[in-house]
A and B are shown apart, each in its own frame.
Chain A
Amino acid sequence: MMARTIVPFGPQHPILAEPVRYTLELEEETVVGVDFELGWMHRGIEKGAEQDYNKAIFMCERVCGICSGVHSMTFVGCLEKAGDIPVPDRAKYLRTILLELERIHSHLLWIGVAADAVGFQNLFMLTWREREHVVDLMEAITGNRVNHSYVMPGGVRGDVDEKMAKHALEVLGAVEASAKFVADQASHDRTLISRVKGVGIMDKAMCLRYGVVGPNMRGCGIKQDCRSDGYEAYKWLDFEPVTFEGGDNLSRVMVRVLETFQSIELVKKCFKQIEPGPIMEEFKGGINGEAAYRCEAPRGELFYFIRGNGTKVLERVKIRAPTLANLMVTRELLLGEEFANIPVTILSFDPCFSCTER
């Protein structure tokens, strides 16, 4: 029997922005055993959100530093479901615009981080330059780069006028043209392809067995997207979820690249279909009963559950972030991989540990 080496990977590792500890068992260069530990980022947000729901929105928004808008959106969705709060159509479109802008920014950010992990600094700089325009656009619409504080029960907190809409379409047009060029070039790059093609192959059966969600699932050719449920304005936007066959790292990259362009199209469609009207219906009162709501975050299905007792203070808030569903499969997926491919394969799942541990 060959000697086995145990290599700790994390909690501090150059490619990981957030702490997770992988314990890898190696036989020479091949991984034969995988285990991981979570719990370095626990902040007790679920407990902290058991307060006045108007204050808890801002607490839930701080679960994630990248997709904060979708967290507040899902929480507010729960409140609206439990309290039967009507939402104007214009507010629904504006929320959809925010969610899609956030998806563009998150995917561009991830492509940059992944490029950095494989040593492609040029691509990292180019994608982050495009991302900056999208983030500036969100700042102009909502008032802040990351913690938007835009969605409230009954509507949104700021309107988009004609001038701003025109500016947004110009920015998105420029981002699309530039990102298309970079994506075309990078997807034919020999060095990049050799790092990601045929590495970390996850077949459909494995994907379904572990309940993988989001772009990682769609990278296996499974056509499923929470946006197809038709929450907010998605029911009026005719679209098909992006899928890519293969299930390897390359297909997970390609799904995100294609989704970025799809999101740009969806934002353009929203601006075309949006009609003037009110953006907020004031709601005051307690929340009674239970409600669950799910949204498609940039990393997959995000699930919130709340229980109220008729007052403004919530009894229970449960948050299930997409990375928790995506992580479990790595225990099987990493087996038999070369050690040098482990960082890229873990990153290809776009893990966000601060979401997972709340």
Chain B
Amino acid sequence: MIEMSLISYSLGNLFKKPATIIDPFRELKPPPRFRGTIILDRDKCILCGLCSKVCPANCIEVDRAAKTYRYNPIKCISCRRCVDVCKKEAIKMHAVAKEPVYEIQIIQY
């Protein structure tokens, strides 16, 4: 008898709302604290290079002489250390999951 109730429970699930989110029909919203990629506000950034120093994956390259800021989202492990250490609050976390890509795209600011 007990086994029957698990079967009836599962059969009942057929007529309930699915537990999964069907992607194209309902957008998946990550929580506000979700760590995706980073976005740099170039006006605020003073190119101090602190973010590049603390980055565990070495995905940020700051060149003070050439005034360039290169960020490799493929290498990035989304740990949010750069956002934490930035004194000028120039880096922000973009709460959207990384999209699949065919080739390495380095974002240059």
Residues of chain A at the chain B interface (Cβ within 8 Å): 54-55, 57-59, 122, 126, 129, 132, 136, 139-144, 147, 149, 157-158, 181-182, 185-186, 188-190
Contact = CB atoms under 8 A, between A and B. Distances in A.
Assign chain B's interface to a size class.
Answer: 20 to 34
Contacts of B41: none
> Which 7 A-B residue pairs are closest in the complex by CB-CB distance?
A55-B56, A185-B6, A140-B31, A58-B56, A143-B33, A143-B35, A188-B2
Name which of B6, B9, B19, B77 has the most chain A CB atoms within 10 A of its CB.
B6
Interface in B60-84: 77-81, 84
A354 to B, nearest CB: 17
Contacts of B10: 122, 126
B19 to A, nearest CB: 5
B54 A185 contact: no
Contact of B34 (A59, A139, A147, A185): A139
B81 A54 contact: yes
DSSP majority for the B interface?
Answer: loop
Given A55-B54, A59-B56, A139 B31 contact: yes
A260 to B, nearest CB: 18
Contacts of B34: 139, 143-144
Nearest to B57: A58
Contacts of A186: 6
8 contacts: A54-B56, A59-B56, A139-B34, A144-B35, A147-B77, A147-B79, A158-B33, A185-B5
Contacts of B33: 140-143, 158
Contacts of A188: 2-3
